[in-house]
Amino acid sequence: MAEGRASETPTRDALEPHPLIEGAQSAESLTGSLLRPIERKAGRVWWALFFLTLGGTGLFGLAITVTLVRGIGAWGNNIPVGWAFGIIDFVWWIGFGHAGTLISAILVLFQQKWRASVNRFAEAMTLFAVMQAGLFPLLHLGRPWLFYWLVPYPSTMKIWPQFKSALPWDMVAITTYFLVSLLFWYLGLLPDLASARDRAKTPRRQFWYGLFSLGWTGSARHWHHWRTAYLLLAGLATPLVLSVHTIVSFDFAIAQVPGWHSTIFPPYFVAGAIFSGLALVLTLLLPVREPLGLRHVITNKHVDILTKLLLATGMMVAYGYLQEHFFAWYSGDEYEMATYAFKRTGTWGWLFWVQMTTNVLVPQLFWFSKLRGNVVVVWFAALAVDLGMWVERFTIIVPSLAHDFLPKSWEHYSPTWVDFGLLFGSMGFFGFLFLLFLKFIPPVPISEVKELHHELDQALREKEA
């Protein structure tokens, strides 16, 4: 009788068709499975990708070296297109970092438990993307070794930065965002680094994980201070999502350039940043969850939620596209109207329609649950959005500068191999850092997933009762 009743007990999978944690799990099995990616030896695929991204990092270093030796004249910039790939890549990379803070900090404050399995991927992506982004404004300075002129250091001549310019505010925003994101990410790592230390099989691994876990013992006092600090950092990081890309948008919005001088840029840029960041999370998450054995904690439920968020932010971006073209027409400003007409039909008009296809039409696929559940469709759609958001930054910057107020100053822009080297090299460097993250740091927060597992088990027992 007892055995018959036990066999009829519903499982979590039976009660919820798309659970956040699949299968019959325990705290011990979750700890073992989530630490397995860093405990086992790297396979051939990891090494192949490692050397590929290492080559990309070498290309990045070469392009930076050429830029430092020859100056930004090695780029395709001209008059009037003084901004091009350098700033396009900067805005593109800084946008990717916003989904990490959205998934981690904002959802902590809203107590959304589904974030537990994906937040560390997003946080790592944030850090690595901001590292790429921070390099491009420095290179664009022409003399990057004098970057400290942007900081209000105690100058003998009392020459302070020009705070009416957006550039010093960019530096403050990026530096603050990177430091807060790094602290938030590292704080979340402490319990898991201690778990890796306790399970380490070699003295070297035990030493290094023990060093970086900062003496974590899991006592009630440690957990109390950890939760307090985690919540405070989440509250501090949340306004940064809005402030950082708003300040980045000021680079354009405060300029007297047709197509840039618009008050819609701050919210439009923030929505686009979160949109592109969510797409990159899906691009990175889907290919690695099976090889790393994380299918039971990164489930189709997580993919479904992320694609819904991608659809929602995609609608915001589409509204921004509609409004900027509407404002250009409604303003009656002939320069503004001519600039947007050139974007649609000029030399780079085909890029505008690529942008509209990838960023407006592709996300509409996620209205359908079957397509949200198709991993291949989701991955290619996310990849298309990644591409489309870079194209969007190109169509914002280059056409507006190439066709400014004076027709006699109009000039065609063509990138050089150094421009492409910086773009693809930064991708290689990003991939190199991400592979190291997957190899040496638990990619999913063990403590948070175990807490979620405990809460789901409690809910299951309540339903059984």
Contact 92, 396 (CB under 8 A): no
Highest mean pLDDT among 156-170, 233-247, 278-292: 278-292
> In the prediction, which pLDDT does 142 show?
79
- Residue whose pair of structure tokens reads 């691009």 in the numeric block: 283
Residue 436: band (very low, low, confident or very high) from pLDDT cuts 50, 70, 90:
very high
Q: In the prediction, which pLDDT does 37 show? A: 85
Please, which contacts does 246-252 make with residues 24 or more away whose CB atoms are closer than 8 Å?
246/270, 247/166, 247/169, 247/170, 247/173, 248/90, 248/91, 248/94, 248/170, 248/173, 250/166, 250/169, 251/87, 251/166, 251/167, 251/170, 252/396, 252/397
Which tokens in the block code for residue 191?
């319990």
The CA-based dihedral angle spanning residues 421, 427, 428, 433, taken in that order and rounded to the nearest 10 degrees = 140
- Does 137 score more than 90 pLDDT? no
Contact predicate 289/375, CB 8 Å: no
What is the mean predicted confidence (pLDDT) over 6-30? 62
Q: For residue 109, what pLDDT band results from cuts at 50, 70 and 90?
A: confident
| pLDDT tier for residue 18 given thresholds of 50, 70 and 90 | low
Residues with Cβ within 8 Å of 314's Cβ and at least 6 positions away in sequence, in order, are 275, 359, 360, 363, 364, 385
pLDDT bracket for residue 363 (50, 70, 90): very high
Query: What mean pLDDT is predicted for residues 301-329?
Result: 90
List the single range of 276-285, 382-391, 447-456 with lowest mean pLDDT.
447-456
Q: Give the largest CA-CA distance in the chain.
A: 91
pLDDT in the model for residue 17: 53
At 179-224, the pLDDT tens digits run 888 898 898 889 889 888 888 888 898 899 889 988 888 888 998 9
- In the prediction, which pLDDT does 362 show? 93
Read off the pLDDT band of 262 (50, 70, 90).
confident
Provide the mean pLDDT of the chain: 85
pTM: 0.88
More confident residue, 170 or 204: 204
pLDDT at 239: 83
The two structure tokens encoding residue 244: 């950082």
Is the Cβ–Cβ distance between 389 and 92 less than 8 Å?
yes
DSSP state of 259: T
pLDDT of residue 361: 94
Is 223 in contact with 143 (CB distance < 8 Å)? no
pLDDT at 92: 92
Collapse the DSSP code of 257 into the 3-class scheme (helix H, G, I; strand E, B; otherwise coil) and give the result. coil
Average pLDDT score over residue span 329-355: 87
Q: Identify the band that residue 16 occupies on the pLDDT scale cut at 50, 70 and 90.
A: low
Q: Which residues contact 444 (CB under 8 A, 6 or more apart)?
A: 34, 116, 117, 118, 120, 121, 294, 297, 298
Supply the pLDDT for residue 164: 79
pLDDT of residue 464: 67
Please determine, for residue 53, whether its predicted confidence score (pLDDT) is greater than 60. yes
In the block, tokens 């290094």 appear at 208
What are the b/e assignments for 75-100, b being 16+ CB within 10 Å?
bbbeebbebbbbbbbbbbbbbbbbbb
How does residue 93 score in pLDDT terms, banded at 50, 70 and 90?
Answer: very high
How far is residue 419's CA from residue 89's CA, in Å, rounded to a whole number?
10
252, 265 contact by CB (below 8 A): yes
| pLDDT of 6 higher than 50 | no
Q: Give the residue with greater pLDDT, 427 vs 146.
A: 427
Q: Helices (H) and strands (E) in the chain — how many of each?
A: 19, 0
Nearest to 384 by CA among 360, 349, 419, 350: 360
pLDDT higher than 50, residue 5: no
More confident residue, 150 or 433: 433
**pLDDT score of 12 more than 70:** no
Q: Give the C-alpha separation, 328 to 299, whole Å.
A: 44
